[in-house]
Structure 1
Amino acid sequence: MKNAGVLLFAREPARFYFHAAITCVRFRGKTKTHIIDRKDFSEDIITNVDNAMKWLKTYIPLRYEIGGGKLQREEIPELPYDALREALLNSVIHRDYFEKGAVTMVEFYDDRVHILNPDGLVKGILPEEFGMTSISRNPFLQGLFHRADLVERIGSGIGRMRDEMKTAGLSEPEFNWNGFFRITFKRSEKRGLEIAVTDGTVSDIDLRISELIENGEIVRRPDVERLLQLSYASAQRHLANLVERELILFEGAPKTGKYVLTRKGEKFLASLKKKGDHR
C-alpha cells in the first residue's frame, strides 16, 4: 500500500524508485542506430502516462477524412490512441517495481512502436492463458486505477488493445515476454497525410504550425514555443520536418528573417480547405 502511494502521489517517485520513470525514444529508421529525440518522464505514474501519450502524439501522423455530410474533417491517427494508452497503463500497473536498473520504455521506429517493461509474464500465468487470465503483480495499485476510472474492467486491457487495432484495420499488437515484456504496434505502410501534395510524415502539430505561419502568427522558432507550448528542441524538430518536406522555408538573415510557406505548403493548406476543412 505504501509503495503504491509513493508511485501515485509522490511529487517525484523516481527519488524512491528510479525505475518508475518512462523513457520515450524516437529512432530514425528501423534500428537503434540513430536517436532523433529522447524524453525522460519521472513524475507520478499517472502524469508519466499522460506525458508519454503527449510525446507519442507529436510523432503519430494523422489522416484526414471528410465525408458523410460533415463539414468538419475527421482526424484519424495512424495508431489508435486508446490502444497505446491502454498499453502504457498496462505497463505501469503490472511492471515489477522491485526489478531495478531498467525503466518502462517507449521506442518509436519508422515501422513500429515498442512499449517495454523489464520483466516477463506474471508468475502463475501460462503463455497459452495470456489475455484470458488476469493476475496482477500489484493488485492494490491496479485496484486504485480501477476505482479512479483510469482503467475499465480489470483483466480486459489486452482485449481492448486488440479490438482497437482491429477496428482501425491494423495488425493486432504483438506480445513478447522473453526477458522483457514487450508490446509491439506495427505502423501502417501508408503513413502520413493522405493528400497528394505531401510526400512524407506531417503530424498534427506540424499542420498547426503551417497554419500559424500562413496567418502570420509564427515567424520564428520562439513563436512556435510560445503559441504551442513546446520546448526549444520540439519546436526546432517540427520546423525542421516542415522544411525537409518543403512545406516551409526560412527567408532572410538568421536574426531578422522569418518562416514562410512554400508554394507546396500553400497548395497543401489550400487542398485541405477545398476538401471542406471549415474550422
Structure 2
Amino acid sequence: MLESLEKLSLVKGQLVTNAAWLLFDKGSTGYNVHLGRFKTPSYIIDDRMYNGTLFDMVEEIMRYLISQIKVAFEIKGMPTQRTEIFEYPLPALREMALNCLIHRNYLSPIDVQICLFDNYVEFYNPGGLAGSLTVEDLKKDNYKAHARNKLIAEAFYLIGGIEKYGSGFLRMRKEIATYPTMKMEFGEMPNGFMNKLSYREQKISTKMDSRVSEGVNGGVNEVVNLSPTLYERRWSL
C-alpha cells in the first residue's frame, strides 16, 4: 500500500501530501459539502453538511440527491416490468459532484454547495476554471481538460471515477440529451464555478420523442453570465 502511494506521489518519504490527506483521512478535513433542498430561495426544506474523504463525499452526495429527487415509474411489457426514471440522469449528477470535489480550489475556505429546487439543481464549487481552459472550450466535444489538483484527479482516474483526459461535459451532454426538456447551464462567477440542470417538464417515459431535439439543440451547452448576487440566498459562507 505504501509503495503504491509513493508511486502515485501521494506519499513522499515520511510526508503525506495534502492530496492523500483529502483522499484517505477519516477525520474532518475542514472542507465541507453543504447540501440543501429548497422550496423557494428563502424556504429551506432540508439542510445537510458532510465532511470526510473525497471518495466518501461522492457517495454521500449521491445518496442525498437520490433520497431527495423525484422518481417516475413506467409500467410496460408482458410480463409487467417497472422502470424507474429519476428526475435527473444520475450519471450527470455524479459527474457534477466529481467536478466539484476534484476541481475545487482547496486554498479557498468556501464550501461546495449543492442546492436542489423543484425543477432545477445547482452545483457550486470555489475556484474558477484551471489553466487556459475557458467556458467556451467546455461547449466543445474536443476540449482539453486542465486539472487544478493533478494528484486527486489521478487517484479518481485509477479507481475508474473519471476519464484521464477529461470528458465529463461530453458525458453529461449525452445523458441530458435523453431528457426532452432538460438543459445544462454553466459559467464562472466571482470565487467559483456554477453548473445547473433544469427542466420544464419532468421525464416520465423512456420513449424518445420530438422534444429531445429541443433539448439537444436548444440549450444543453448554454452558458450563463453569473452575477455576484446569485448565491446571496445561500447559507452563510
> Do the structures match in fold with TM over 0.5?
yes
Which aligned segments of 4 or more residues in structure 1 are displaced greater than 3 angstroms?
190-193
Match of 2:193 in 1: 181
- What is the rounded CA distance, in whole Å, between the counterparts of 2:64 and 2:149 in structure 1? 26
**Which runs of 5 or more structure 2 residues have no equivalent in the other structure?**
1-9, 11-16, 206-237
- What is the rounded CA distance, in whole Å, between the counterparts of 2:79 and 2:178 in structure 1? 21
1:44 pairs with 2:59: no
Q: How many residues align?
A: 186
Match of 1:6 among 21, 24, 37: 21
Match of 1:207 in 2: none
Structure-1-length-normalised TM-score: 0.62
Larger displacement relative to structure 2 (79-88 or 147-156): 147-156
1:156 pairs with 2:164: no
Structure-2-length-normalised TM-score: 0.73
Is the radius of gyration larger for structure 1 or structure 2? 1
> As a proportion of its length, which structure holds more strand?
2
Structure 1 residues 75 and 119, CA gap change in structure 2 (3 angstroms): same
Paired amino acid for 1:53: M
Alignment of 1:159-170 (within 5 A): 159-170=170-181
Match of 1:129 in 2: 137
**8 Å CA contact 1:41, 1:48 repeated in 2:** yes
Alignment of 1:70-85 (within 5 A): 70-85=79-94
CA apart distance, 1:133: 1.9
1:60 pairs with 2:69: yes
Alignment of 1:94-243 (within 5 A): 94-100=103-109, 102-130=110-138, 132-179=143-190, 180-190=192-202
**Which runs of 5 or more structure 1 residues have no equivalent in the other structure?**
194-279
1:23 pairs with 2:34: yes
Structure 1 residues 187 and 12, CA gap change in structure 2 (3 angstroms): farther
- What is the rounded CA distance, in whole Å, between the counterparts of 2:51 and 2:24 in structure 1? 12
> As a proportion of its length, which structure holds more helix?
1
Alignment of 1:246-265 (within 5 A): none
- What is the rounded CA distance, in whole Å, between the counterparts of 2:170 and 2:62 in structure 1? 20
User: Percent identical across equivalent pairs?
Assistant: 30
- What is the rounded CA distance, in whole Å, between the counterparts of 1:134 and 1:152 in structure 2? 10
**8 Å CA contact 2:154, 2:164 repeated in 1:** no
Q: What is the aligned-residue RMSD (CA, Å)?
A: 1.9
1:182-221 C-alpha deviation (Å, 9 max, x unpaired)? 010104434789xxxxxxxxxxxxxxxxxxxxxxxxxxxx
